[in-house]
Each structure stands twice: as C-alpha cells, then as structure tokens.
Amino acid sequence: MATPSTDVRRHPERTGDAALVREVLDEALIVHVGTVRDGWPVVLPMAHGRDGDTLYLHGSAAAGVFRDVRGGSRVCVTATIVDALVLTRSAFNHSMNYRCAVVYGEALAATNLDAAVRAVVEHNLPGRNADVRQPTEAELRETGIWQLDLTTASAKVRTGGPIEDPADLDLPAWAGVVPVRTVLGEPVPDEGVTAAPPHLRD
C-alpha cells in the first residue's frame, strides 16, 4: 500500500514544517487516533507523549484501539490547537486560526517502556515525573504502550485576520479575531496532600 500523501492541497501556503508538527503535538492536551475496525473507521481521543521523533500512546491493554493496532496496524493521529475565532461580516467567510498536525504510521509496541511512560506523564504537566511513583512491572503489563514514528506527518497553520469579500466591508456586522486559550484552573488538592509542588505552582 502506498504511503499516504502529506501534501496540503487547500491553502498549501499554510503548510507547516516538522518543527510545527512537534509543537502542535506538545501543546495539544490530547490526540485523536484513527484506526480501521471491521472495515469502519474508528477515531478515539487519547492522551499522548512525544520523545524526539517518536509519539507514544498508552492505555488499558484491553482497549479497543490497542486491539486494533496489535501486530502493527496503520493509524492516523491528529492534534489541533484552536488559536482564535475569526469573525467576518458574512456567515460564509468565518474561519479559525489554528495549528494542526496529522501523523500517519504503523503503531508498534513501544521498545522503551520507561521513556514512553515518562513522555506521556510529562506531556500535560512538565515536571510531574519527579513527583510521582513510577509504574510497577504489574502495572506495565496491564498497559498497552505504542509508539509511532513522526516521519510521515504534516502540519497546517492559519494565522491573521478576517478575509472578507470587498462588497461586505460596509456591512454593520462585527468582524475581527477572538483569541482562544486553554488555561489550567486553580488546583484543588486531594485530602492529605500538603503544599502544591513547583510544577503546579509554576
């Protein structure tokens, strides 16, 4: 089977490079993992981690998506950051500023479990590994941990303001850019924990 095309055809000027693929994967809280099951596409949200040009996925070894990839099946993984809503005077021209990555590859059982688990734990909260107990052999046996090369990947990015039809410019509708941010709220400590560790305070 041929390698899937990673050429962005619509707005090719919005194509990003390998650094943007990594940036989007690092910033996205989750990815969506697409597999084919009994002839149907299945796309499920998952946590992830990255170490160099390797993307890691993990979960219960019994999870459907890990049954799908047993033996190294092909997957498509996407991550998206919405940076802004772009509002125009016409309904038709509304858009979003975004950074997006698509990765194709063969999901293989992770060869370095320690690196894989650390990458996933570290992903959403840098510094977290230093604070927590690492998995036991038994916990690792219950976990499906997969790795994927970032070699067949693309990134696409839109920045900037509204793109209007000239004839719409005199319309009274509000137009402009509304930034979108994902922020962590104030931590709510569990019973019995003391002061928040530095990686939470910072």
Ligand X SMILES: Cc1cc2nc3c(=O)[nH]c(=O)nc-3n(C[C@H](O)[C@H](O)[C@H](O)COP(=O)(O)OP(=O)(O)OC[C@H]3O[C@@H](n4cnc5c(N)ncnc54)[C@H](O)[C@@H]3O)c2cc1C
Binding site residues, ligand X, CB under 6 A: 30, 42, 44-47, 58-60, 63-65
Residue 120 φ then ψ, to 5°: -70, -45
CB of 155 to ligand X, least distance (A): 22
78 vs 93, which CB is nearer to ligand X?
78
In the Cβ-directed half-sphere of 109, how many Cα atoms lie within 13 Å?
8
> Which string of b and e fits 104-133 if b means at least 16 CB within 10 Å?
bbebeebeebebbbbbbbbbeeeeeeeeee
CB of 10 to ligand X, least distance (A): 28
- 61 near 144, Cβ under 8 Å? yes
CB of 30 to ligand X, least distance (A): 5
Torsion 54-201-32-13 (CA) sign: negative
28 vs 150, which CB is nearer to ligand X?
28
19 vs 62, which CB is nearer to ligand X?
62
CB of 43 to ligand X, least distance (A): 9
Which residues lie across from 195 on neighbouring strands?
none
46 vs 177, which CB is nearer to ligand X?
46
